[in-house]
Homo-oligomer: A and B are copies of this chain.
């Protein structure tokens, strides 16, 4: 566990600033400065379109949910191995804008660049680059480029490119290009896969340009999906007539806009860029849709969209921001805001898409959605932006039918099994021991759904989608295991992989069994609720799902008799049945440069035969369902897992930090939190280039709220156990709960709870029930 890296960017409260153009760090910075709105994602590349090599940068433009497929080849295929891949496809780039100052190309690789700044403004969701430029020919200009991906208009990315000639008046030429000869950098970004996508995977259907716009429509070679993109341009400022020329090639279109610049007067190019796919419109409607959307965007103007960004963010930060006062608080606060900003950007919010492990910031993990969404991101959204949470749950509901089909392939005659990794709802993991075997995904989705329902009180959602999701996921749990005589008739679940990817195909993975039991309880609860409140709908469900109440009898049996591995001597829950038997791990035998890259350097059998853990697994279960365990019990387990966990997953430290708080290990908690908070901002894993670590980003919010403040929502009971790290004077955050917004401010002496919105709120501190019954009312707990 390291927290010793110096900050990469200056410490600032609301922004990330790059103060010089550094080609060496370009690839990493492209991720840090990436923008997205849950639909479009674009990497922080330059408008100049430098021809960087594959180790230096990756131009990347993505649309959530838009993927390419290729036939997957296997050494030996298993029954049920996915036949086709799903890879988030890198789409045509339209950001490219070359500027000529009286014929001289602006490029930071030549000429002189001064006062360079690139600022990611997290309050405004705008990326701004500004600099003073002197060309080799001595022409000076001030250049300021703003970029945003609009939260208001999901299909729009916008650029405002401002050039102010400082020591000359003369021709300013913008060459704006749509470049469709693009491909994923699979060998670099997903080196482990061998099925691509390789090469250009979009075939152009239409490519055209006119005086101020260009348009491209293409179809993927494998998945046969259609996408369209177009850009539209306006120029403001400058003297003299505007000249346009247009050139369209086979795979690109170039618009040349020339204007007479006047010394000291800014010339502004407003570029509106639109992406759309057949997920939104029929292919034949795309062209008109893009054109209309671009018109609308110009009507809104860049400035209008910029203001809209600011108000969107203001609304977000109003609830989601965490404020900290104390040692390193500026450092941590910047990290926290960077993290929250990126997960907000990354989450699909149209009910048709999820959230990739790397958001929309890169090609890593092929853009797939994993359990990260439900276990790491969703809790944050549930308490801060419940509408986003709901849309992410909608996505799972939308793919329920595919999960049912998958369950059949796995031999379950009833129920649904969600895929371990996916974009379109079908399983995309090609190595089942680390993929499909992670059955816990079902329970994770059910957990997030249950949390959503408890926190929001959205009973409608339970009726519309929730109950069905609970029932269908639960049915797989009722089929996968059995009551084993050799374990006193307890219910055992064999041959699954828990979250810990170093212990695969285990029997009775503690986390899985614990979460499966909750899944069954949630399903049972849903059925009982419907039985009381909506008999008609229950009857409909029973009919539609071929579901009978007898099944719930089995569920009850399983809930009562779920088996958990237990080591009596140590008083701990081993990770799984075989864990305590494995060989002790001897890190000394592993050369240092290989330690964090076990699967790259060691055979899976070597890894799985050792008693060590990649990441929080049993510990995660004890955090989520801490109500079942005494503090002493959690402490014993924490002590044990602390020894055997290598934290080789970015999903680990934040959870250990939370659990450490719960048992009074505040110093360790603070260490874990510190590293989590700045993990990406300071690139602790040295792989930010490939994309953000969304789960850890969300985990840091949890580390404060669920960790230091001890928030839990279990059995529909909101509770806190406030604490504060020694290093801090106070910290403050808000959560949404039912119709309330509750603000907490925790200092070294006390925790103050203020009801900022809503009529009342009830919560617990330990066994003490606290109710605040008027808006603005407060409660103070001494600590």
Contact = CB atoms under 8 A, between A and B. Distances in A.
Nearest to A567: B486
Contact of A604 (B78, B195, B481): B78
Nearest to A412: B606
Contacts of A432: 603-605
Interface string A450-490: 00000000000000000000000000000011101111000
Interface stretch (A69-77, A253-261, A281-289, A754-762): A69-77
A582 B495 CA distance: 9
A580 B78 CA distance: 25
Interface stretch (A214-222, A337-345, A594-602): A594-602
A583 interface: yes
Contact of A484 (B410, B480, B581, B600): B581
A494 B602 CA distance: 16
A609 B75 contact: no
A433 interface: yes
A410 to B, nearest CB: 5
A578 B75 CA distance: 28
Interface string A193-219: 111000000000000000000000000
Nearest to A434: B76
Given A486-B581, A507-B578, A577-B577, A605 B495 contact: yes
Contacts of A508: 581
A283 to B, nearest CB: 31
Contacts of A413: 589
A584 interface: yes
Contact of A609 (B72, B480, B504): B480
A728 to B, nearest CB: 41
Nearest to A410: B603
Contacts of A486: 567, 569, 580-581
Contact of A581 (B76, B507, B581, B608): B507
Contact of A76 (B80, B431, B496): B431
B194 A73 contact: yes
A15 to B, nearest CB: 39
A780 B696 CA distance: 79
A604 B79 contact: yes
Given A409-B603, A436-B603, A581-B492, A75 B73 contact: yes
Contacts of A17: none
Contact of A80 (B430, B495, B581, B603): B603
A505 interface: yes
B78 A583 contact: no
A485 to B, nearest CB: 7
The residue among A78, A194, A480 with the most chain B CB atoms within 10 A of its own CB is A78
B609 A494 contact: yes
A411 interface: yes
Given A567-B486, A578-B507, A582-B494, A437 B75 contact: no
Contacts of A195: 73, 75
Interface in A667-720: none
Given A494-B609, A582-B494, A605-B495, A73 B73 contact: yes
A81 interface: yes
Contacts of A241: none
Nearest to A192: B76
A566 to B, nearest CB: 11
A496 to B, nearest CB: 8
Contacts of A569: 485-486
Contact of A411 (B192, B599, B602): B602
A476 to B, nearest CB: 12
Interface string A400-425: 00000000011101000000000000
B603 A430 contact: no
A487 B413 CA distance: 38
Given A486-B567, A487-B581, A494-B609, A75 B76 contact: no
Contacts of A494: 578, 581-583, 608-609
A480 B77 CA distance: 28
Given A486-B567, A581-B492, A605-B437, A75 B79 contact: no
A193 B76 contact: yes
Nearest to A428: B75
Contacts of A484: 580-582
B505 A505 contact: yes
Contacts of A193: 75-76
Interface in A57-88: 72-82
A74 B432 CA distance: 13
A462 B607 CA distance: 35
Contacts of A602: 79-80, 411
A74 B85 CA distance: 13
A584 B482 contact: yes
Contacts of A433: 433, 505
Contact of A505 (B567, B581, B608): B608
Given A410-B603, A577-B578, A608 B495 contact: yes
A407 to B, nearest CB: 11
A582 B480 CA distance: 10
A77 B192 contact: yes
Contacts of A482: 581-584
28 contacts: A73-B73, A73-B74, A73-B75, A73-B195, A74-B75, A74-B194, A75-B81, A75-B194, A76-B430, A77-B194, A78-B603, A78-B604, A79-B600, A79-B604, A409-B603, A411-B602, A411-B605, A413-B589, A432-B603, A433-B433, A436-B603, A480-B609, A484-B581, A487-B581, A492-B581, A494-B581, A494-B608, A577-B578
Enumerate the 9 nearest inter-chain pairs by beta-carbon distance, A residue then B residue, closest first.
Answer: A75-B430, A411-B606, A80-B603, A486-B580, A73-B73, A482-B583, A484-B581, A507-B578, A76-B431
Given A492-B581, A494-B582, A495-B578, 18 more contacts: A74-B194, A75-B193, A75-B430, A76-B192, A79-B599, A79-B601, A79-B602, A79-B604, A80-B604, A433-B505, A482-B583, A494-B581, A494-B583, A495-B582, A505-B608, A507-B577, A507-B578, A577-B577
Interface of A: 72-82, 192-195, 409-411, 413, 430-433, 436-437, 480-482, 484-487, 492, 494-496, 504-505, 507-508, 567, 569, 577-578, 580-584, 589, 599-606, 608-609
